[in-house]
Amino acid sequence: MAAQAPLCIAPATAPATPEVVCTGGDGCSYLRELSAIERIAGFDHSARRYAAAAARCREQGCRAGAARAPSAATVASAEAVPMRGIGGARKLGGERNVGHADNPVPFVRAAFIDILSDSEGNFVERRQLKPQSLPVKGDALGYLYRYWADLRGAGALHVSSIDTVHLARAGVIGSMHIVDVSSDDPNDFRFDLFGYAVPISRPERPRAYPVRIYADTTLRDYNTVRLTGVPQLHRIYCRLGDTKHHYTRLILPFLDQRDRVTRLCVAIRQERGNSVKIEPGQ
């Protein structure tokens, strides 16, 4: 994290004059999220500076509305990956391989699209894509993936190495989670940070998602990245209760001092038709 980061950083996709969209009693959601990221990384001084700025946002202008879903860039051109598994190619030390696809991890469901449904009418449709094929320019997830790749190349895949300036430039503040996956039991994974602009109520743990098949598939993907140290990119379309969701999700692994994957950065891009309420009887 950059200790000298400015108090308020506009993402590259933000409008010139943002709306004032403060939530909660502590001021600007955007700056509070930056504060939380700095605190997770161990930079308490920067965290306090962002928190102080958040409390003043109604006077100086709030950035919370800047974390809206991008409308221009998509991953329509991203290359699909057969659902046959992934692995790691570059050993950074310790127990994990962190790199591009190499060693297969078998999946039992159909290639390209994985679909689960339940008796309540819920379904989860997942299409796996190649992170390397994300657009180089004009795409939040593409920017974040390439920043992660730069950290990997420098041997700096630790949460404390992340510069919040790059997160802001990518435009992922508000739509990014940080997940603690230090436990060997996926049921114990927990959210250190949950993006305030993601239209799903925040649970303490992914296992607590109210729709079982959604919790199961989310935990499977998180655990795969934990075990392999390889990023995953999915286009997801699902029905959860009375709402349909459509989004693209990038999962990036980060290491502890023993080179074990203990945290994930999960960035969400909401696609057209996301968070649509379903009328009774549909």
Average pLDDT of span 95-123: 61
> Among residues 22, 25, 54, which one has the least CA distance to residue 37?
54
Catalogue the E-assigned strands of 76-140. Answer: 113-117, 123-129
| Cβ-contact 50, 60 below 8 angstroms | no
| Cβ-contact 170, 142 below 8 angstroms | no
Pick from 2-11, 37-46, 104-113: least confident = 2-11
Determine the Cα–Cα distance for residues 159 and 52; give it in Å rounded to an integer. 22
Average pLDDT of span 206-213: 96
> Which residues are within 8 A (CB) of 281 and not within 5 positions of it... i.e. 6 or more apart?
none
Name the band, by pLDDT with cuts 50, 70 and 90, for residue 139: very high
The pLDDT assigned to 26 comes to 63
Determine the Cα–Cα distance for residues 238 and 48; give it in Å rounded to an integer. 38
Average pLDDT of span 49-59: 78
Average pLDDT of span 130-137: 91
| Cβ-contact 247, 126 below 8 angstroms | no
Average pLDDT of span 241-252: 96
Element (H, E) at 34: helix 29-41
| Cβ-contact 116, 103 below 8 angstroms | no
Task: Enter the tokens of residue 240.
Answer: 């959860």
∠ Cα 10 71 73 (to 5°): 90
The pLDDT assigned to 189 comes to 98
| Cβ-contact 162, 17 below 8 angstroms | no
The pLDDT assigned to 214 comes to 96
List 191's β-bridge partners, or say none: 179
| Res. 82: pLDDT tops 80 | no
The pLDDT assigned to 280 comes to 73
List 245's β-bridge partners, or say none: 238
Average pLDDT of span 26-35: 84
| Res. 240: pLDDT tops 90 | yes
Residue-wise pLDDT for 157-208, tens only, equals 999 999 999 999 999 999 999 999 999 999 999 999 999 999 988 899 999 9
The pLDDT assigned to 273 comes to 87
Buried b (16+ CB within 10 A) or exposed e, 119-140: eeebbbbbbbbbbeebbeeebb
Percent of the chain surpassing pLDDT 70: 71
| Cβ-contact 193, 176 below 8 angstroms | yes
The pLDDT assigned to 60 comes to 58
Average pLDDT of span 142-157: 96
Mean pLDDT estimate for the chain: 78
Neighbours of 143 (CB within 10 A): 24
Phi-psi region of 86 (alpha: psi -120 to 50; beta: other; left: phi over 0): beta
The pLDDT assigned to 31 comes to 87
Pick from 39-48, 141-150, 256-265: least confident = 39-48
| Res. 72: pLDDT tops 60 | no
Determine the Cα–Cα distance for residues 252 and 128; give it in Å rounded to an integer. 14
Catalogue the E-assigned strands of the chain. Answer: 113-117, 123-129, 176-180, 190-193, 232-240, 243-255, 261-270, 276-277
DSSP annotation of 91 reads: B
| Res. 91: pLDDT tops 80 | no
Give all domains of the chain, ordered by start, each with its CATH number: 29-67 (no CATH), 113-277 (3.30.450.20)
* pTM of the predicted protein model: 0.77
